Amino acid sequence: MDRYSTSGKLVRDRIPQIIREDGAEPVTYTAGREEYRSRLRDKLGEEVAEFLEADEQSAPEELADVLEVVRALAADLGVDAAQLEKIRDAKAAERGGFADRIVWTGNR
């Protein structure tokens, strides 16, 4: 946890509108760059934890939430989705992916 985590939480852009549509008035503010980056990192941990706890039925939705936060973090670093995919693809070409389910247990 960081210094921002005691008050408020980073939410998706439409959440205030949804709260208004439900008849309440949300209290919000726009985070500065440093706070935004910090809260995104916290949100990534939160979403990963939710994915890890999810059952098979809800796991895809939770994984989509992780992806949304990853894309926001990339954008904050100046990397768009296409660039991020290029970086991922290059790493996969160099080191492989995870499709073969290989588990390394050490060397002889």
Residue 4 in this model has a pLDDT that exceeds 80 = no
Asked whether residue 42 is domain-assigned, the answer is yes
Asked whether residue 23 is domain-assigned, the answer is no
Structural domain boundaries, residue 57: 32-95
Asked whether residue 9 is domain-assigned, the answer is no
Cβ distance 70 to 87 under 8 Å?
no
pLDDT value at position 7? 83
Note the pLDDT tens digit of each residue in 39-68: 999 999 999 999 999 999 999 999 999 999
Asked whether residue 62 is domain-assigned, the answer is yes
Cβ distance 76 to 36 under 8 Å?
yes
Asked whether residue 21 is domain-assigned, the answer is no
Cβ distance 66 to 44 under 8 Å?
yes
Asked whether residue 78 is domain-assigned, the answer is yes
pTM of the model: 0.86
Asked whether residue 4 is domain-assigned, the answer is no
Give the C-alpha separation, 31 to 43, whole Å.
14
Query: Letter for the amino acid at 37?
Result: R
Give the number of domains in the chain: 1
Asked whether residue 11 is domain-assigned, the answer is no
